[in-house]
Amino acid sequence: MDQVHVPTNALLKKVAARRPWWVNVYIPALVRGLTVSIKQFFKKSVTIQYPEQKAVINERFRGEHYLKRDEHEHMKCVACYMCATACPANCIHIEAEPAPQGPGWEGRDKVPAVFEIDMLKCIYCGYCVEACPKDAIAMTNKIPKVYTDRKDFIYGMQKLLYNDQPDPPAPKK
Amino acid sequence: MLEEVLNNPILFTAIKLVVSFAIVLAAVPMLVWMERKSAARFQRREGPNRVGPFGLLQSVADAVKLIFKEDYFPKNTDKAVFLLAPILTFMPGVISFGLVSVTATRSGQLLGLTDINMGLLVMLAISSLAGYGIAFAGWSSNNQYSLLGGIRSSAQLISYEIVMGLSVVALLLKTGSLSLGEIVQQQSGVVFGFIPRWNLFMWPPCFFLFLLAAFAETSRAPFDNPEAEQELVGGYHTEYTGLRYAWFMFGEYAGLWTMCSIITALFLGGWHFPGMGRLIHDEWLFALVGFGVFIVKVLALIFFFMWMRWTLPRMRWDQLMKLSWTRLIPIALGNLIILALAMEYGGLFR
């Protein structure tokens, strides 16, 4: 077993004896400490006054999701369930339907009829983004929001499709 | 009109009583604000800034909150003592401020509540009463943390009172008077043309010993072991809520205010400032300016207390006692002996 060296009083005394006396009275150290703290006193504060000022959030911050659209403004998602499978929190719910016929839908078998993410369950790990073979889901840098109803936390397909747009300003009370 | 008031001793005393009490009452919320604001600045935060201009009304909001809190008694408390403790803690700070002359007119009429000829002794006696309040609170709360806080507080007050007493004795050798007003009056003028004749510059060791003891007596960091939030969960006031907690808070800051005004009177020349007597010739203007000087000195001293709080970590309990008994008391005794010898044989302060 390793020996743990606890500094005993005898040891501390030995260490103290090796220092010059003006170090042992601690007054120079005290003065140095006081200068350090008074320097902090006159520096600018780092506070962000939250509701008025907002912190700058990094571009790469993993915030709320959004579903990407292709050049026809159709969703890129093909309802392959890869993201729902990869999700460690089980927060993605997908129901598929046959893809509609017509221009812009070539080469697609399925599209999601329902695509819901439960933002209360989501842990914002980004595995769904990693898993997507079509690069159809991505994350914004929006901070997860707060609602007064649990239903509001479940983001549907329409909301997710346009979640890359900035949020409308909050209604004034 | 003014003459009439001055010649009516009862009315004059009543006015002085109200003013002296009001100064302490007004000082406490301001000190709490100052503490929080300076703490914030030392940590590069903003501190309270929402309630009123610069957050000045924060203490008022806090007081309102405390008043409307639930009135809570823990199980098995000794009710009478439990109720008495906050008041006992609060009283000494307010009473002993009455002994300090805050200013004087130019001709030397002291303007404090009272200036008795043994004011310093009374002050020492009253300030040691604060220990009882804390010990009672710790004992009656029926809580281990409170009890530890109370015991620590008593032990700390006893050991540092000796240091404080010894430094005061040495000071008394120099002043030859126990009256706080007279001690201040002795400190007017300058020596060598530029050093104010304050006791701080006349005989510095007394000041530093008294200051250290004052840190312990007011339980301010680095000697705040009786309440040590991290180890004792607030110590003696753990079980107190609402208004009774507010009394403790109040007592603590009133004590700090009074202690700093006593230090100002004893060592920092009270209302005197070099050159004041030469510049101001009006009797009452002098008193007013003197009052301002006194307040500024007290506030500067209090700022120093807060500065210390955010610089030094709390001392360990045994180190605290060791510092007092094996270092400060011998130093204080040595200081006393050296000063006595210097005055007897060296002709100092003659």
Q: Is B310's CB within 8 Å of A37's CB?
A: yes
pLDDT > 70: what percent of chain A? 93
Q: Say if residue A127's pLDDT is above 90.
A: yes
CB B137 within 8 A of CB B248: yes
Give DSSP secondary structure letters for B223-270: S-TTT-HHHHTTGGGTT--HHHHHHHHHHHHHHHHHHHHHHHHHHS-T
Give the distance between the most distant pair of CA atoms in chain B.
Answer: 65
Is A75 strand, coil or helix? strand
Predicted confidence (pLDDT) per residue in A43-52, tens digit: 888 888 887 8
Q: pLDDT averaged over consecutive 10-residue blocks of chain B (350 residues)?
A: 73 82 86 90 88 85 87 81 86 83 74 77 83 85 85 86 89 84 80 77 86 87 78 79 85 88 86 76 80 89 91 85 88 90 78
pLDDT computed for residue A122 by the predictor: 92
CB A160 within 8 A of CB A67: yes
Tokens for A54, please give them.
């907002």
Which chain B residues have a beta carbon less than 8 Å from that of A37?
42, 307, 310-311
CB B40 within 8 A of CB B46: yes
What pTM was computed for the model? 0.79
Which of these, B71, B29, B85, lies nearest to B236 by C-alpha position?
B85
Contact residues, A window 31-70, toward B, CB-based 8 Å cutoff: 33-34, 36-38, 40-41, 43-47, 49
pLDDT computed for residue B79 by the predictor: 82
Q: Which residue has the tokens 């250290």?
A: B212
Reported as half-sphere exposure (CB side, CA atoms, 13 A), residue B223 has a value of: 25
- B41 contact A CB<8A: yes
To probe the interface with A, which of B41, B45, B315, B327 has the most A CB atoms within 10 Å? B41
Which chain A residues have a beta carbon less than 8 Å from that of B38?
41
User: Is residue A121 very low, low, confident or very high in pLDDT (cuts 50, 70, 90)?
Assistant: very high
pLDDT computed for residue B304 by the predictor: 92
Q: Say if residue A172's pLDDT is above 70.
A: no
pLDDT computed for residue A91 by the predictor: 92
Which chain B residues have a beta carbon less than 8 Å from that of A36?
311
User: Is residue A6 very low, low, confident or very high in pLDDT (cuts 50, 70, 90)?
Assistant: low
pLDDT computed for residue A173 by the predictor: 59
Q: Mean pLDDT across the stretch A142-151?
A: 87
CB B103 within 8 A of CB B294: yes
pLDDT computed for residue B156 by the predictor: 87
Closest CB to A37 among B40, B45, B307:
B307
pLDDT computed for residue A118 by the predictor: 92
| Shortest CA gap B214–chain A (Å) | 17
| Shortest CA gap B263–chain A (Å) | 21
Predicted confidence (pLDDT) per residue in B124-146, tens digit: 888 878 788 888 888 888 888 88
- B300 contact A CB<8A: no
Predicted confidence (pLDDT) per residue in B169-228, tens digit: 888 888 888 888 888 888 877 777 777 778 888 888 888 999 988 888 888 878 887 777
Closest CB to A34 among B38, B40, B307:
B307
CB B130 within 8 A of CB B93: yes
Is B297 strand, coil or helix? helix
Closest CB to B312 among A33, A41, A47:
A33
Secondary structure letter of residue A43 according to DSSP: S
Distance of CA A11 to CAs A6, A8, A15, B235, B317, Å?
9, 5, 6, 32, 20
Nearest CA in chain B to A44: B44
d(CA B216, CA B152): 11
User: Is residue A95 very low, low, confident or very high in pLDDT (cuts 50, 70, 90)?
Assistant: very high
Closest CB to B44 among A30, A34, A43:
A43
**ipTM value > 0.90:** no
Q: Is A44's CB within 8 Å of B44's CB?
A: yes
Residues in chain B, overall count: 350
| Shortest CA gap B61–chain A (Å) | 20
Q: Say if residue A1's pLDDT is above 60.
A: no
Q: Say if residue A15's pLDDT is above 90.
A: no
